[in-house]
Amino acid sequence: MKVGITKEIFARECRVAATPETVRRLKEKLGFDVVVETNAGTAASFHDDAYRAVGCEISGDANHVWSTADIILKVRSPEDHEIAQMHQGQTLISFIAPATNRSLLEKLSAKNVNALAIDAIPRISRAQKMDALSSTANIAGYRAVVEAAGLFGRFFTGQITAAGKVPPAKVLVIGAGVAGLSAIGTARGLGAIVRAFDVRPEVAEQVQSMGAEFLTVQIDTEEEAGTAGGYAKTMSKEFIEAEMALFAAQAKEVDIIITTALIPGKTAPTLITREMVESMRRGSIVVDLAAEQGGNCECTVADQVTMHAGVHIVGFSDLASRLAHTSSQLYGTNLYHLLEEMGGAENLHIDMDNVVIRSATVVHNGVITWPPPPVAVSAAQRATAPEPLASPATVVQKRIGMVDLLILVAAGLVLVGIGMTGNREFITDMTVFALACLIGWQVIWNVSASLHTPLMSVTNAISGIIIVGGMVQVGTQSIAAIILGAVAIFFATINIAGGFLVTHRMLKMFRK
C-alpha cells in the first residue's frame, strides 16, 4: 500500500505532511511505500535527498502522486484540480474544516473516496497523539510571542543597568487553551509579567502553575463555562459585559495582548474593541490568533500587520507555517499515529466503531458522515448527587478481653521483676526505653497514611540521635550493653542515610 505526499500549493503554506523521520517510521514500522512530490518539503528545510535516504520514491509529477497513491497525506484541504485527480477508493487525510466546508465534502463524496479530517480528532486522552489541532495551537502560541517580541520596542524582562532601569513587559493572554498556555510559557520564559483570562475556572491552576496571574470576573450567578467538546462556550450577557470591562481596564495597563479565543467552525468572538485599542499605550501590540475566522480584535486585518492609534495589530493566520520545520515534524507524527490507529499497511481499514476514527471520518466510501456522534471530552466535573450526610459518630466502649488482661498481667510482672533487681541505673534505662517506645509509637501511628512518606523520611533522620545513646552504652563495662549499643549505632546510621536520601529526592521533585 502506497502513501503519497504532495507539495502544498496554498499561499504562504510552508509545511509538509511528512518529514524524512516520519516517512522512515511509516515504512519501517507500518509497512507503507511512500512517494513524495519533488520539493514537497523544501520550504520546511526537508530536501529531496533526505527523503531518498530513507527509501522514498521522488516524483516530479504531482499527478503521478495523486494517481498512484492509495492514501494522500496533506496539510491544507485539497483544491478543485487536486480533487479531480483523485480516484475511487482513495483515502485523503488533511485539515478539512468540515463544519464550515460542506461544499468540499460534497465534491469528495462525488469522487467516491474516503476523507478523514485531522482537525476533527476528538480531544480525548487516548487521541492526544493524533491531535493535530493541539500541535498546531502549541506552535501558534509560541510564535505569537515571538512575533510580538519582534515588534516590541523593549526587553520582555526587566533590567537594572548603569544607564537606567527597564521595566518588564506586561502581557495579557486571553484564552488559556493549548495556544494560550504555550504563549504564557514563552512570555514567562522571556521574563515578562503575564496575566491570563479564561471563562473556564478549571484552568486557573494550570495558569498559576506557569507563573502567570489568573484574572477572574465577579458576577451574581454561576455559569458552566465548558462544552462537551472541551472548548469554552458562549457566556451570558452579564458575564460578557463583566469580561469586556475587565479587558478594557487591562488594555490600559498591559503592553501586549494575545488573543486565542476560537472555536472550530464558528466565527471568532470580538473581545478587543476599537476603543480598547485606542486606550493602549503607543507601541503596544495585539496578536490575534483568531484572525482567520474574523479575529478577536475589532481592528484585525487577516494576514497583515496593521497599526491603529500607534498600536500594532498582528493578524497572521499562518503562525504554524512560520515555524514550518517543527510544525511539519509534529504534524507528520500526528498522521503516523493516525495511520497506526487505522491498522498500518497490512490491516488498513476505517473502523467506524472506533470513536477516534469515526469522529475524524467525514466521507466514507463516497457517503458524507459528518457530523459524527458527540463525544464528551470536557474536563469539567459533572454534577453528581450530593452525598448523604454522615451520621453522628458514636463512641463504642472497648471491652477488655482475656488476651488484653493477660498482656496487662505480664507487663506488670515484668515491671515488678525489674524493680526487684535493685539496679537503679538499669531501672532508669528501662523506664526511658519504655517511654521512648510508647511516645514514638503513638506519634507515628496517629499520623495520616498520606503523610507517612514525608514524615518517615524526616523522623528517620531525627532518629539518628539513637547513635548518641549507643555510643554511651559502648563505653560501659557490660558486654551485652556494648553489643546492643553497636547494633543500635549500625541501624541508626542506616536510618540517617536513608532518611536524608528520601527527603532529598522528595525536595528535588519541587525544583525546576
Per annotation, catalytic residue among 77, 109, 134, 359: 134
85 a catalytic residue: no
- CA atoms in the 13 A half-sphere facing the CB of 57: 14
Q: Which three cell numbers stand for residue 502?
A: 528520601
- What is the C-alpha to C-alpha distance for residues 133 and 138, in angstroms, rounded to an integer? 8
Any long-range contacts for 121-124 (C-beta under 8 Å, 24+ apart)? 121/338, 121/356, 121/359, 121/360, 122/229, 122/355, 122/356, 122/359, 122/375, 122/377, 123/229, 123/230, 123/377, 124/355, 124/356, 124/375, 124/377
**Active-site position among 51, 142, 231, 336:** 231
CA distance readout (Å), 413 to 407, 417, 431: 10, 6, 15
Number of H helices, E strands in the chain: 17, 17
To the query of whether residue 328 is one of the catalytic residues in this protein, the response is no
Grid coordinates representing 414? 515484668
Write down the catalytic residue from 15, 76, 123, 200.
123
15 is catalytic: no
Catalytic residue among 15, 24, 48, 131: 131
Query: Using an 8 Å Cβ cutoff, are 215 and 248 in contact?
Result: no
Could you give the CA distance from residue 345 to residue 27 in angstroms, rounded to a whole number?
Answer: 9
Active site residue 131: yes
- How would DSSP label each residue in 95-135? ---TTT-HHHHHHHHHTT-EEEEGGG----GGGGGG-HHHH
331 as an active site residue: the answer is: no
**For residue 58, what are the CA distances in angstroms to 48, 55, 357?**
7, 9, 29
- C-alpha grid cell, residue 228: 462537551
Please, are residues 296 and 267 in contact by the beta-carbon 8 Å criterion? no
- Asked if residues 200 and 218 have their Cβ atoms less than 8 Å apart, the reply is no
Q: 144 near 177, Cβ under 8 Å?
A: no
Q: What region, left, alpha or beta, does residue 184 occupy, with left being phi > 0 and alpha being psi -120 to 50 degrees? A: alpha
Q: Considering the candidates 128, 208, 236, 478, report the single residue annotated as catalytic.
A: 128
Strands 57-59 and 311-314, by their bridges, are: unpaired
Q: Which residues form the catalytic set?
A: 123, 128, 131, 134, 231
